Chain A
Amino acid sequence: MTKTDRRAEIGALGEQLAVDHLTGLGLTILDRNWRCRYGELDIVAADDTARMVVFVEVKTRTGDGFGGAAAAVTPAKVRRLRRLAGLWLAANRGGWAGVRIDVVAITMGRTRTPQLIHLEAVGS
């Protein structure tokens, strides 16, 4: 197995964990790995009670060597997410009351069960 494959596998595993977490919170998953020429949205979910669309960036790490998973979401990355959110909203129909950008940071390997941190509304 090559290194790149392994990385993609970790990413995919993390995203699956994030999806499970979000559905557990009662959100409906609308889209996964939505791509356009400017980038990719990991998960697009809908909070039906608040009629809110939630764009979720998933970061998965196997260690803290480079400052943790949440620290990898830089201000530049947040700006990119905002732009992608706009593009997604333009491409998809639906009357939403609000929009939110979340980050799910997952750290694997240290403990048996992966640690998951869900940061809400980071795009402000």
Chain B
Amino acid sequence: MTLGRAFSVAMRGVEGHLVEIEADISNGLPGVHLVGLADAALQESRDRVRAAINNCGFTWPQTRLTLALSPATLPKMGSVYDLALATAVLAAEGKKAWPRLEKTVLLGELALDGRVRPVKGVLPAVWAAQRQGWPAVVVPIDNLAEASLIEGIEVWGARTLAQVRAWLAGKGDLHPRIDDPQQAPAVSADLADVVGQAQARRAVEVAAAGGHNLVMTGPPGVGKTMLAQRLPGLLPPLTQDESLEVTAIHSIAGLLTGDAPLITRPPFVAPHHTSSVAALVGGGSGMARPGAVSRAHRGVLFLDEFAEINSGALEALRTPLEDGVIRLARREGVASYPCRFQLVLAANLCPCAPPDPRDCICPAAARRRYRSRLSGPLLDRVDLRVEMHASRAGTFAEEPGESTAAVRERVWAARHAAAQRWRPHGISTNAEVSGALLRRTYRLGSEAMKPLKTAVDRGVLSIRGMDRTLRVAWTLNDLAGGSSPTREQVLQALSYRQAGERS
């Protein structure tokens, strides 16, 4: 047999496609011909694989060698195929079939001395192999913890090419799966650290309980950023499936740490306000890579100083915010990444941002321009608006504010109540409920609806605004443990709506 065959996985966004790699040794002048839409990094793998094979003491064929990656029309990129290419060559050169090779997916980059180097995107690749019913996968030893998160498939960690070959021939062992990967350390930011700001703390609690988007405005140094950072701590941990989804995205972005790969807590992503559209929603040449919105999937996307973000980037957030998924078309195909995140925005009141708004020295035009950023279509999708003021009273109070643990209990109870109520409709948080459902099936009594009716009649509230107010009212009700929102709760919800609109 002068034909060797091995298998690997090509990633397209978070989807994995099985790739069959064939090596054919035929008569002709010595040379390596790599076919199958390989990118630059993959073209270079010819030299890596050759050096690795020679340095491991195996022989490289001194004739014409054709390496084919199929499906041939699928663009392949990166160094993840090195290990599979090398074993295909070894199988062809050794003229023997290893039964294990036919049933194993191989992932990993090779160093020139034959070590197997870690690669990005191992978790979704292993996941794809498992879904397609492959019995075993070999990954670089440094990615073993990550790959071990997938159940229902044999996972082996390889240190060198020689080790893999010995294992294929049945003469050696690879590292077995790591059964109990460490957990990432808990976040230490506590809500008790925030001084004063009772109203904003309440807004954060409501946002956490209902999954609502939140915007905070106020002078610098009042704790906007601190509060936003403490929001993920209030959210319940991710379920097993959510964890894998989030970890898969982070794996593709190359952000996982080696020893504690599984992300079990909602991620908190805070891109800088100079970020471009591509940095926020994802992009890049060839195949699009995930951006901040996808890294914040099932977590919190915090945009500090959002009035400074260029408006194109901000507007690009609108569709992902609505759809919960973003499709990015690039030269080598369409990548689709999930991005169901909770948006938290923070901004000063004007460009000069004095501690007291009355000391503002900005020209009226600059103020107006800045203010126009604080409204607009993106803010229309935000349920909770809170204006914060420099606190004087309460700053040096003896009693610290409530701790994260205390608030978290209420938040989890409220989330549980909401999940119970919406389960028949296939949703879990108040923020996702459709307007029709709120206005028909879960219609409030006329007494509770009165403030809303007045607001709509006076033209200060749109129909969409009414739906959003109702969602917040439901969350307030869940936090209070009631069965249906009361008039007071609707009024309170309305106050969150209008806070940013005055002046």
CB within 8 Å of B: which residues of A?
67-68, 70-71, 73, 75, 78, 103, 119-120, 122
Minimum CB–CB distance for A120 against chain B, Å: 8
- B3-53 residues with Cβ-Cβ distance < 8 A to A are 27-31
A73 touches B62 (CB 8 A): no
CB within 8 Å of A: which residues of B?
27-31, 62-63
Q: List 8 A-B contacts (CB under 8 A).
A: A67-B62, A68-B62, A70-B29, A70-B62, A70-B63, A78-B29, A119-B28, A120-B27
The interface residues of chain A lying within 8 Å CB-to-CB of B30 are: 67-68, 70-71
Minimum CB–CB distance for B335 against chain A, Å: 36
A105 to B43, CA, bound (A): 28
A122 touches B29 (CB 8 A): yes
A108 to B28, CA, bound (A): 20
- Given A68-B62, A70-B29, A119-B29, list of 13 further CB < 8 A pairs? A67-B30, A67-B62, A68-B30, A70-B30, A70-B62, A71-B29, A71-B30, A75-B31, A78-B29, A103-B29, A119-B28, A120-B27, A122-B28
- The 8 Å CB contact of B62, one of A71, A78, A103, A122, is A71
The interface residues of chain B lying within 8 Å CB-to-CB of A70 are: 29-30, 62-63
- A78 — nearest CB in chain B belongs to which residue? B29
The interface residues of chain B lying within 8 Å CB-to-CB of A71 are: 29-30, 62
A120 to B64, CA, bound (A): 12
The interface residues of chain A lying within 8 Å CB-to-CB of B27 are: 119-120
The interface residues of chain B lying within 8 Å CB-to-CB of A78 are: 29
Instruction: Among B28, B29, B31, B62, find the residue whose CB has the most chain A CB atoms closer than 10 A.
Output: B29
A65 to B28, CA, bound (A): 20
A120 to B29, CA, bound (A): 9
- A68 — nearest CB in chain B belongs to which residue? B62
The interface residues of chain B lying within 8 Å CB-to-CB of A75 are: 31
A103 to B29, CA, bound (A): 8
The interface residues of chain A lying within 8 Å CB-to-CB of B31 are: 75
Minimum CB–CB distance for B256 against chain A, Å: 41
- B30 — nearest CB in chain A belongs to which residue? A71
A78 to B30, CA, bound (A): 12
Minimum CB–CB distance for B53 against chain A, Å: 14
- B62 — nearest CB in chain A belongs to which residue? A68
A122 to B31, CA, bound (A): 11
A112 to B62, CA, bound (A): 22
A24 to B31, CA, bound (A): 29
The interface residues of chain A lying within 8 Å CB-to-CB of B28 are: 119, 122
The interface residues of chain B lying within 8 Å CB-to-CB of A103 are: 29
- B31 — nearest CB in chain A belongs to which residue? A75
Instruction: Among B28, B30, B31, find the residue whose CB has the most chain A CB atoms closer than 10 A.
Output: B30
- A103 — nearest CB in chain B belongs to which residue? B29
The interface residues of chain B lying within 8 Å CB-to-CB of A73 are: 29
Minimum CB–CB distance for A104 against chain B, Å: 12
A68 to B27, CA, bound (A): 15
- A123 — nearest CB in chain B belongs to which residue? B29
The interface residues of chain B lying within 8 Å CB-to-CB of A68 are: 30, 62
- A122 — nearest CB in chain B belongs to which residue? B29
- A74 — nearest CB in chain B belongs to which residue? B29
The interface residues of chain A lying within 8 Å CB-to-CB of B63 are: 70
Minimum CB–CB distance for A71 against chain B, Å: 4
A70 to B30, CA, bound (A): 7
